[in-house]
Amino acid sequence: MVPIIHTLQILFLALLFFTFLLHTTISFYTPFVNILYHLLTTHLHFFLLFSLCTLVSLFYYYHIRPHRVFLLNYSCYKPPPHRKFSYEIRESFFLKNVQLVQESIDFMHNICLKSSLGEETYGPPFIFEDDKNNNIPTLKSANQEAREGIFLSIDDLLAKTLIDPQSVDVLIVTCGGFSPSPSLSSLVVNRYNLRPDVKTYNLSGMGCSSGILSLDFAARILRGSQKVQNALVVIIESVTLNWYNGQNRSMLVTNCIFRVGCAAAIMSNNPKLYQGAKMELVHSLRTHHGADDSSYKAAIQEEDDKGITGISLTKDLIRVAGVNLRQHVKILAPRVLALSQITNYAYSMIMSTILPQKFKPVVPNFATAFEHICIHSGGKAVIEQIGRVLKFSDEVTEPARMTLNRFGNTSSSLVFYELAYFEAKKGKVKKGDRMWMLAFGTGFKVGSLVWKWTQDSTQDSDNPWNDCIHNYPLRTW
C-alpha cells in the first residue's frame, strides 16, 4: 500500500509540474533563474499552489514511510545442569517407560546414535520426575516447561536491555504444539504486569519456522506504526506434549531429536534506541508451499492406528525441504545477491529452459552475499540437504551442526542458539556484517530474515555457549 501511495504522489507532482510548463510556454532550456523570476512575477498563485502541494507530499511521506526496525537484544534459555538428557538418562527413561515396546526402544536407540546430538542437550521436566505418573507427559509438566523457559528468557532479556515491561506495545508468543487456556501470551501479561492496551498475539501450529515468522510479523507491525515502538517476541516449543509413546516409527523420530529450548527478543522502531541495537532487519521473506499435498503432509500431527497422537516426520520431508528451498531462494536471490550473480543465474535459467539437455541452472553463491548464515538445524539430514542445495561448505554449516550437537533441535528457537554461537566466537561478527537466518516449518513453510549488524558483537553474560565454546567446533559427522 505504501509504495502505491508514493507512486501516486510522484505522478501527481510530475503532472502538476509539466502542466505548469505547458501553461507558461517556458522552454526546458530556459535558465532556472529566469524560470523562477517568471513564476514569481506572472504566475505567483500557481507557484504557491505547486509549492504547497510539494510540501504536503513531503510531509505526508515523512509520516507514512516505513520505519527502520532493529533487534535490540535477545536471550536464549539454558536449562539447569540436572536437566541434561545424556545417553544414560535417555536409555534409562526408555527402558522404564511402560508404554514403549522393546522394538520401539531399539529403533529410537539407533536414531539417537545417528542423530549427531551430543550428551549435553536438555530434556523436559517430566523425564526427570519420579515414577508416580509412570513418566507420562501431563498438562502440569507442559506448563512447567513453558513457564521455566519463557520466564527465565524474558528476565534475562529485560535485565540486558533495561526495557521497562510497561513500554512493551506488542507481545507475540509462538509455540507450535502447546496452546493452553489462558494462552501463553496471557501468562506473560500476567507475570510482567503489561499494560492493559498491549497488543497480544498467540501463534501456534507453525513448526520450526515460527521463530523467524514471528519476528517478521513483529517487524511488519513496527514498520507501519508510529505509536507502536517496542515488540517483545517469545519463541518456544513444547517437548512435553509432543512426546510420543506409540509404535509408529515416523512419530518416534521426534522423541530422538527434539529438545528443550526458548528464546526471547525485543524489536523496536524507536530512533532513540538505534545506537544500542544489535542488528537492523534489512529484508524478510516468507513462502508457503501448503498447496502441494506432499509438502503439506511432510510433517503433520495426527493419530496413529491406536489413537495415540504424535508428529509424523515422513521420509518425503528431506526431498520436500530441498524442493521448497529452491523455490524460496529464487525469490530471495534478486534481493540480496550482487548483480553479477543475478545475471549468471538468470542466464543459466534461460539456457536450461531452451536447451535442458546441455545446460543446468547454476546455484547462486549465497555465501558471497552474507558474512554469516544461520541455517535450519532441524537434523543431520536437513543440514546436509541445505548444504547440497546451496553448495555450502562445512565452514558455513558449522554453527548449525554445532548447535544441533549441543542443544538438539529446539524447533522455532534454534536460529537464536546459532546466533549466540556466532557471538560466543569472539571477534566473529563485526559492525556492517550481513547475516541470513533461514528456517523451515510445517505447512510447508520457508522463512528468511536478512540482518545488518549495527555494532560489533559482544559476548553477553547469559550466552548459553559461555561455558563450552572453547570445545567447539567438534567433528560431529
Catalytic residue among 208, 256, 262, 374: 208
Catalytic residue among 372, 374, 405, 463: 372
Find the angle CA(428)-CA(404)-CA(333) to the nearest 5 degrees.
Answer: 60
Classify burial at 429, counting beta carbons within 10 Å of its beta carbon; exposed 0-12, middle 13-18, buried 19 or more: buried
Catalytic residue among 374, 376, 405, 463: 376
Closest CA to 469 of 431, 398, 421: 421
Is 463 part of the annotated catalytic residue set?
A: no
Number of H helices, E strands in the chain: 15, 11
Q: Name 168's Cβ contacts closer than 8 Å, sequence gap at least 6.
A: 192, 194, 195, 198, 230, 231, 232, 266
Euclidean distance between CA atoms 135 and 255, whole angstroms? 14
Torsion sign, CA atoms 470, 422, 87, 115: negative
Is 262 part of the annotated catalytic residue set?
A: no
Burial code (b: 16+ CB inside 10 Å, e: under 16) for 383-414 equals: bebbbeebebeeebbbbbbbbbbbbbbbbbbb
Cell of 126: 517430566
Q: Name 198's Cβ contacts closer than 8 Å, sequence gap at least 6.
A: 168, 169, 170, 171, 189
Closest CA to 457 of 416, 421, 418, 428: 428
Catalytic residue among 143, 242, 409, 463: 409
Closest CA to 369 of 433, 284, 439: 433
Is 208 part of the annotated catalytic residue set?
A: yes
Q: Could you tell me the maximum CA-CA distance found in the chain, to the nearest angstrom?
A: 97
Euclidean distance between CA atoms 182 and 62, whole angstroms? 40
Catalytic residue among 270, 288, 344, 466: 288
Euclidean distance between CA atoms 114 and 248, whole angstroms? 19
E strand intervals along 78-125: none
Is 288 part of the annotated catalytic residue set?
A: yes
Is 409 part of the annotated catalytic residue set?
A: yes
**Which residues are catalytically annotated?**
208, 288, 372, 376, 409
